[in-house]
Amino acid sequence: MRALAMHSIIAVSMLYAIPAHAQDGKNAPEKIGLWKKRAPIGMDKFEDVEVWITLHRPAKANGTAVVICPGGGYGGLVTGAEGHGIAAWLNQHGITGVVLEYRLPKGRAQVPLFDAQRAIRTVRANAKAWNLDSARIGIMGFSAGGHLASTAGTHFDAGDASSPDPVERVSCRPDFMILVYPVVTMGGKGHSGSRANLLGKSPDAKLVGLYSNETQVRANTPPTFLAHAKDDKPVPPSNSQMFYDALRDKKVPARYLELPSGGHGLNGYKGPMWDAWQRQSLEWLVEMKLAPTATSSSRGGDDHLLHKFNRQELTDVYFSEGANVGDLNRDGKIDVVYGPYWFEGPDYKIKHELYPPVPQPREKYADNFFNWVYDFNGDGWPDVFVVGFPGRPAYVYENPKGKFGKHWPKHQVMDAVANESPQFLDLVGDERPELVCTFGGAFTVWPGTNRIAAVR
C-alpha cells in the first residue's frame, strides 16, 4: 500500500477528467443560472434560489445537445459519474452536454420538472449561439434522474408565444430521451425512496398516476433509448419494460437494451455493461438521425479512444493512502481531495485545508486512510468522509457552502474502523451509500443515509 500512496492523486483524477480541449478558452465548462433567483414552486409561488446548468461544449459541436439529469433518489445528486462525467463522454463524440443540478423536491413534485423544462427551453433558445440544431435537443437521466427525464418527455408544452421572456416562448419538449436504469413508475414496482421524496409519504392515487410516466405516454412522446440491467434490485427493470411497452403501443420509436448483469449503477459506472449502453445509444442516435454519422470529434471509425494525460504533482508530502474527486465548490469543475487538502480544478493550483495538516510517516498507516466525496446533509454541497486505519475514528467534514477560508466543521460518525479496505456503497437500495467495515471483531455498517445533524 505504501508505494501507491503518492500516485493515487493522478489516478483518481482520471476517473472523471474533462479532456484538455474542453477546458481551454471558450470550451471551458460554463455555469448558467436558470431562474435569476426566482424559481417557481407551483401555484404562482416562487422561492429565492438559483438553479444551475453546466454547459460542456465539445471542440467541434455536431449540433446535438443533451440535458443530463443525475440520479440520487430525489434526495441528492450524483453529479460526478452521472453528470459531468457523462458530459465529458458526450463531448468526445461532438455532442454538447448540459448537466442540470435540479432542485430536490422534498414532496414538491413539480419543482424538479420546472427545472428540467426550463433547462430544455434554455438550450433551445440558445441553439444558434451555441452552434446547436434546435430540433436535436434531448434529455438523459439516470435512476431518479431517469424519472425526471421521462417526466419531461411526457409532460411538456410548446411554449408561450406571448411571454416577455424569450426562453419561455420556445418548446420544452425534448427531441429524444436516453434513460439509463430509470425510475419510471411511482407505483408498486418503482423505487419507494424516490416516490417518498418526490410525492411525499402518503400521496393520493391521482398524484401517483400523474407521475407514473408509463401511463403518460402519448403519440407525440419523443423517441426513447432505454438501458437496464436484469439484476437491478433497487429499481427493477420492469420500470424500463413498462415504459418501452407503452411507447411501442403508441408507435413511438424506441429501443430497449436489457443488460444481462451490472445491477443498479452498472458495476459502478464501468465495464462491459456500462460500455454497451454508451456505444449502442450513440448508434441509435445516428440511426434516428438525431446525430451525424460521425459521432466522434476525435476518432476515425475506431471504437477505441486514446487519451494522453499530463502528470501533475500536487504535493510531495505523504498525508493519505488515497484520494478522491468531486465538485466541492460547485463551479462545474472537478476538484481533487487528498489528505487535509482539496485542490481546485481544472488546474489544481489553488489548495484549501479541510483540517490542520499533519504529515504521516510513510512506513505506517495514515490517519486519513480513505476518503469519499458525498453530500450527506442534502444541502447540495459535497462533504468529505474520512476513514482512518487501524482503529481510528471516521469523520465527516461538512462543506461550509463556499466559505472556504476556515477548516470545515468536523463530525465523528464512528469510534473506529478496523479493516484495511472499508467500502462505501449502497447496501439497502435507497441510492444513498453506507460504510461497510469491521469494528470490534465483526462487520458493521454505518448508515450513510443519516444526515449530519443526526450524528453530531
Question: Residue 298: what pLDDT?
Answer: 41
Candidates 5, 4, 2, 81; CA nearest to 339 is 5
What whole-number distance in Å separates Cα of residue 345 and Cα of residue 139?
27
What would the grid cell of residue 396 be? Answer: 465527516
Q: Are 338 and 315 in contact (CB under 8 A)?
A: yes
- Do the Cβ atoms of 67 and 140 come closer than 8 Å? yes
pLDDT on residue 299:
43
Longest dimension (CA), the chain: 70
Cell of 53: 446548468
| CA distance to 316, 319, 321, 378, per residue, from 359 (Å) | 10, 5, 12, 32
Output the nine-digit C-alpha cell for 199.
Answer: 410525492
| pTM of the predicted protein model | 0.65
Cα–Cα distance, 19 to 331 (Å, whole number): 17
The answer to whether residues 69 and 146 touch, using CB atoms and an 8 Å cutoff, is yes
Convert 258-289 to b/e letters by CB count within 10 Å (16 or more is b). ebeebbbbbeebeeebbebbbeebbebbeebe
The DSSP secondary structure of 79-135, one letter per residue, reads: TIIIIIHHHHHHHHTT-EEEEEEPPP-TT-THHHHHHHHHHHHHHHHTTTTTT--TT
- As a whole number of angstroms, the distance between CA 291 and CA 96 comes to 11
pLDDT score for 74: 95
Q: Which residue's C-alpha cell is 448537466? A: 99
Give the length of the chain.
456
**pLDDT reported for residue 7:** 29
Give CA–CA dist 429/410, Å, rounded. Answer: 27
Report pLDDT for 20.
Answer: 40
Q: Are 330 and 380 contacting, i.e. CB atoms less than 8 angstroms apart?
A: yes
The answer to whether the beta carbons of residues 410 and 391 sit under 8 Å apart is: no
User: How far is it, in rounded angstroms, from Cα 276 to Cα 279?
Assistant: 5
Handedness of CA 184, 190, 192, 195 (dihedral sign): positive
Provide the pLDDT for residue 360.
85
Helices 110-125, 144-152: inter-axial angle, 10-degree rounding: 60
Q: State how far the Cα of 288 lies from the Cα of 252, in Å rounded to an integer.
A: 12
Give the per-residue pLDDT at 371.
87
Mean pLDDT by 10 residues, the chain (456 residues): 29 34 63 96 95 96 97 94 96 97 96 98 97 97 98 97 96 98 94 94 94 97 98 95 97 96 94 96 95 58 55 86 88 90 92 92 77 88 85 89 92 81 76 77 58 37
Contact 179, 147 (CB under 8 A): no
Give Cβ neighbours of residue 52 (< 8 Å, ≥ 6 apart). 31, 32, 33, 34, 101, 330, 332
70/77 Cα distance (integer angstroms):
6
Sequential DSSP letters for 277-307: HHHHHHHHHHHTTSS-S---SS-SS-S----
pLDDT score at 195: 94
| CA contacts within 13 A on the Cβ side of 456 | 6
Task: Report angle CA 190, 196, 200 to the nearest 5 degrees.
Answer: 135
- Specify the pLDDT at position 456: 32
**Rounded distance, CA 68 to CA 91, Å?**
13
Residue 124: C-alpha distances to residues 63, 169, 386, 391 (Å): 11, 10, 42, 54
